[in-house]
């Protein structure tokens, strides 16, 4: 451990040289949590909170004037320019690759300042009251009655808003080591293929359930209408697998309209789709696809009503399989994911700061490294009471982390969730957390609020502490307020700027440091460094999921969730395959790199298998037995009361209609020689 001094102790260097320490030591016991290799970090001695507005103004003046002296405002970029330059030269002279820069322009993580916090508050879920077949109001009330697990009052420290609740940032925090089993949990061998990994998350019992409910729903619809559907016949498991496989392939080979996959144009139509099933059969399966028993569905206002009744069988299975197939790693991310819809539904949420501003919202708990999704929670509409709305983020987090108590995971979340009561609750449950917060929330230190801190220089920060709970306010690109229970106070880090990395890539053999051509990043407190490095799990999952969509736009809200969970199971199965096989592709794959595209194509092909619908089988039968069609059941008989175009005449460019035809081939034919000519 080396120490840099200039009249007084400026900071303590914790990483002295890149040549003497390996990457494994950097991530060891004394290293901050999950920092990338290019982040160099050091510790500042005794960063304290401001005592008054007058002291803030005085200290800010010292920074602007460049006067040399002791700065007690706890800024990572605080101190005079000469003092910082002297410290930087001292570090560089001692062989250390850490340079302290004040007021430098670099690429920082973009956070919301206090003006943006109002747009992204707990009440930002702007719902629309439009025509929809779903109402989540009763479901929200049922969740409120479940018990004290979601209770905020019992976890709120009555003194968190008191003036003496927060103290100086000089206390030692205690972080228990993470020792739980993590990673994929299955018994598949090296011979396992993509369908075997997908079956872990989406078992065959779900296909059987979909077949049963689809057949029942088709009969239910026909009974209600009083008419039979002549184009419908019961489906089976093989056909349902093929139907899902075709929907997966539609996400890879995207066309604007479903019927184009069966087009006769050789440049647009897909021969594989035509061989698997007809376009009409695909439409009928889409029309009658169902997951629940509609006859036993409780009505709105009745006992046992469930707003998610239509997808409840899917949720009960998939939520358990996703949780059991992959044990959570140390660092986890909680964030919002949106499902883009073409129509307007009552649970649609509008969040302006997000890239997808409007859609069906699902909160996700994902692994920070791989992006594996462990658990989800569907947004069920705007709460009816203001008190419930204020605790929405609290209830979401506590429900997502159920089962992780006393395993000492590190959770990273955004300002929608982070609050003092939530972090206190998680800390009591043996879970550490970190994330930005809204400075106006109850419990956040009054002295760290923007009106009391004043204008900060880039990289300057203040901190307050109470046990493991540390509150931080800093200026990166914008003002950022942060709460954490896994970060020691007084530690800041700095990342190389883009110019430095580009110069190092172009001239890697040069060992000299030329300050005129190097650009360094902005110093950031440790909570922001950890947040930047680990708040990416849901984004990784969304990137993998959004590359290839499954399913088509429709009018029913629950089908968006059906294809969302099918797509999510594919992404999770791909992650399990990649980590279980160590990058080795399954047997029979000839490519060099087994990407997600290859995984989806292989999975779809295995789901379809050798299945051929009635049209494909009859085409093969006609080709094998064209010499004697009558021997194999093909005969000319009356098809319907309404005449339709003769298929054989249509193929020759003629237009003749007939009520007769071949029922096995399901085509109309003229009573003349068209029957024999068509079957030849």
- In angstroms, the CA 604 to CA 607 distance is 5
How does residue 176 score in pLDDT terms, banded at 50, 70 and 90? very high
The per-residue pLDDT for 200 is 96
Q: How far does Cα 149 stand from its chain's mean position?
A: 25
Range with lowest mean pLDDT among 18-32, 436-450, 581-595? 18-32
- In angstroms, the CA 416 to CA 394 distance is 9
Encoded tokens for 105: 């322009």
Mean pLDDT, residues 428-449: 92
- In angstroms, the CA 523 to CA 99 distance is 10
How does residue 204 score in pLDDT terms, banded at 50, 70 and 90? very high
Whether the CA torsion 611, 616, 620, 621 is positive or negative: it is positive
Q: Does pLDDT of 618 surpass 60?
A: no
Rounded to 5 degrees, what are φ and ψ at 301? 95, -10
3-state secondary structure of 612: coil
Contact 368, 536 (CB under 8 A): yes
Q: How far does Cα 179 stand from its chain's mean position?
A: 25
The per-residue pLDDT for 216 is 94
Number of CB atoms found within 10 A of residue 231's CB: 11
How does residue 49 score in pLDDT terms, banded at 50, 70 and 90? very low
Contact 320, 350 (CB under 8 A): no
Q: Does pLDDT of 73 surpass 90?
A: no
- In angstroms, the CA 609 to CA 595 distance is 21
pLDDT in tens, 382-410: 655 545 545 888 999 999 999 999 999 99
Q: Does pLDDT of 333 surpass 90?
A: yes
Distances (CA, A) of 19 to 23, 27, 28, 499, 521: 10, 15, 16, 22, 21
Q: Does pLDDT of 99 surpass 50?
A: no
- In angstroms, the CA 533 to CA 285 distance is 45
Contact 335, 540 (CB under 8 A): no
Q: How far does Cα 82 stand from its chain's mean position?
A: 46
Q: How far apart are the first and last CA of the chain?
A: 89
- Closest by CA to 315, choosing from 303, 323, 325, 304, is 323
The per-residue pLDDT for 678 is 86
pLDDT in tens, 499-522: 444 455 555 444 433 444 444 567
Taking each continuous run of H as one helix and of E as one strand, the counts in the chain are 23, 21
Mean pLDDT, residues 155-184: 82
pLDDT in tens, 535-574: 999 999 999 999 999 988 888 889 999 999 999 999 999 9
- Closest by CA to 122, choosing from 346, 378, 441, 449, is 441
Select the highest-mean-pLDDT range: 10-19, 201-210, 338-347: 201-210
**HEC per residue, 416-472:** CCCCHHHHHHHHHCCCEEEEECCCCCCCCCHHHCHHHHCCCCCCCEEEEEECCEEEE
The per-residue pLDDT for 107 is 33
Please provide the average confidence, as pLDDT, over all residues in the chain.
74
Radius of gyration of the chain (CA): 32
3-state secondary structure of 604: helix
The per-residue pLDDT for 194 is 93
- In angstroms, the CA 334 to CA 535 distance is 8
Mean pLDDT, residues 491-501: 63
Range with lowest mean pLDDT among 307-311, 435-439, 483-487, 490-494? 490-494
Number of CB atoms found within 10 A of residue 482's CB: 27
How does residue 464 score in pLDDT terms, banded at 50, 70 and 90? very high
Number of CB atoms found within 10 A of residue 645's CB: 14
359: part of which helix (H) or strand (E)?
A: strand 358-367
Q: Does pLDDT of 489 surpass 70?
A: yes
3-state secondary structure of 483: strand
pTM for the model stands at 0.72
Q: What angle do CA 145, 403, 381 make, to 5 degrees?
A: 40
Burial of 631 (0-12, 13-18, 19+ CB in 10 A): exposed
How does residue 462 score in pLDDT terms, banded at 50, 70 and 90? very high
pLDDT higher at 284 or 113: 284
pLDDT in tens, 524-544: 899 999 999 999 999 999 999
Contact 331, 410 (CB under 8 A): yes
Mean pLDDT, residues 55-66: 41
Contact 551, 562 (CB under 8 A): yes
Range with lowest mean pLDDT among 66-70, 327-331, 477-481, 532-536? 66-70
Encoded tokens for 86: 């002297």
Mean pLDDT, residues 36-60: 50
Longest CA span, the chain: 110
The per-residue pLDDT for 23 is 38
As a residue count, the chain comes to: 680
The residues, any chain, with a CB within 8 Å of residue 30's CB and separated by 6 or more, are: 14
Rounded to 5 degrees, what are φ and ψ at 658? -155, 150
The per-residue pLDDT for 244 is 97
The per-residue pLDDT for 523 is 82
The per-residue pLDDT for 652 is 83
């Amino acid at each position: 451990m080396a120490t840099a001094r200039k009249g007084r102790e400026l900071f303590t260097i914790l990483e002295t040289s890149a040549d003497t320490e390996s990457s494994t030591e950097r991530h060891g016991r004394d290293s901050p949590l999950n920092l990338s290799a290019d982040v160099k970090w050091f510790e500042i001695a005794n960063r304290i909170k401001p005592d008054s507005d007058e002291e803030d103004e005085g200290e800010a003046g010292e920074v602007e004037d460049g006067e040399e002296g002791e700065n007690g405002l706890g800024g990572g970029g605080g101190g005079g320019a000469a003092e910082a330059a002297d410290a930087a030269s001292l570090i560089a002279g001692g062989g250390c690759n850490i340079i302290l820069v004040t007021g430098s322009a670099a690429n920082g993580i973009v956070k919301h300042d206090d003006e943006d916090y109002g747009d992204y508050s707990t009440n930002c879920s702007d719902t629309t009251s439009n025509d929809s077949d779903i109402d989540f109001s009763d479901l929200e009330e049922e969740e409120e009655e479940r018990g004290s697990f979601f209770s905020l009052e019992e976890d709120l420290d009555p003194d968190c808003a008191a003036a003496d609740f927060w103290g100086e940032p000089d206390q030692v925090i205690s972080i228990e080591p993470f020792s739980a089993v993590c990673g994929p949990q299955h018994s598949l061998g090296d011979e396992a293929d993509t369908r075997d990994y997908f079956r872990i998350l989406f078992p065959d019992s779900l296909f059987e359930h979909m077949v049963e409910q689809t057949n029942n729903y088709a009969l239910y619809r026909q009974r209600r209408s009083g008419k039979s559907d002549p184009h419908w016949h019961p489906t089976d498991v093989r056909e349902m697998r093929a139907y899902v496989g075709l929907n997966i392939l539609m996400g890879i080979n995207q066309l604007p309209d479903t019927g184009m996959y069966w087009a006769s144009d050789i440049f647009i139509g897909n021969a594989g789709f035509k061989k698997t099933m007809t376009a009409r059969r695909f439409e009928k399966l889409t029309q009658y696809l169902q997951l629940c028993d509609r006859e036993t569905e409780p009505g709105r206002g009745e006992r046992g009503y469930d707003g998610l009744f239509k997808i409840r069988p899917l949720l009960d299975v998939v939520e358990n399989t996703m949780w059991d197939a992959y044990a959570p790693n140390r660092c986890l991310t909680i964030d919002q994911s949106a499902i883009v819809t073409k129509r307007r539904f009552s649970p649609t949420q509008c969040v302006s700061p997000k890239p997808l501003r409007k859609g069906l919202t699902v909160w996700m708990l994902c692994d920070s490294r791989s992006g594996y999704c462990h658990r989800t929670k569907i947004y069920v509409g705007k709460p009816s009471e203001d008190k419930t709305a204020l605790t929405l983020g609290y209830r979401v987090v506590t429900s997502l982390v159920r089962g992780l108590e006393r395993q000492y995971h590190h959770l990273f979340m955004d300002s929608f969730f982070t609050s003092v009561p939530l972090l206190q609750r998680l800390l009591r449950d043996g879970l550490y957390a970190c994330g930005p917060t809204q400075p106006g929330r109850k419990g956040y230190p009054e002295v760290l609020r923007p009106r009391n801190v004043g204008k900060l220089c880039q990289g300057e920060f203040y901190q307050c502490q109470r046990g493991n709970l540390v509150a931080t306010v800093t200026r990166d690109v914008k003002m950022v307020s942060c709460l954490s229970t896994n970060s020691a106070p007084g530690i800041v880090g700095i990342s190389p700027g883009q110019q430095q990395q580009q110069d190092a890539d172009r001239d890697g053999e040069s060992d000299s440091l030329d300050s005129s051509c190097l650009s360094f990043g902005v110093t950031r407190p440790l909570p922001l460094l950890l947040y930047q490095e680990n708040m990416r799990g849901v984004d990784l999952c969304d990137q993998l999921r959004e590359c290839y969509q499954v399913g088509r736009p429709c009018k029913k809200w629950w089908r968006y969730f059906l294809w969302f969970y099918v797509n999510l199971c594919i992404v999770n199965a791909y992650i399990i395959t990649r980590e279980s096989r160590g990058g080795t592709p399954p047997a029979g794959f000839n490519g060099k790199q087994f990407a997600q595209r290859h995984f989806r194509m292989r999975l779809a092909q295995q789901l379809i298998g050798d299945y051929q619908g009635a049209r494909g089988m009859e085409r093969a039968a006609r080709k094998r037995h064209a010499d004697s069609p009558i021997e194999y059941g093909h005969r000319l008989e009356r098809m319907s009361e309404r005449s339709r175009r003769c298929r054989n005449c249509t193929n020759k460019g003629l237009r003749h209609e007939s009520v007769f035809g071949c029922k096995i081939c399901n085509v109309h034919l003229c009573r003349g020689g068209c029957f024999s000519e068509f079957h030849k």
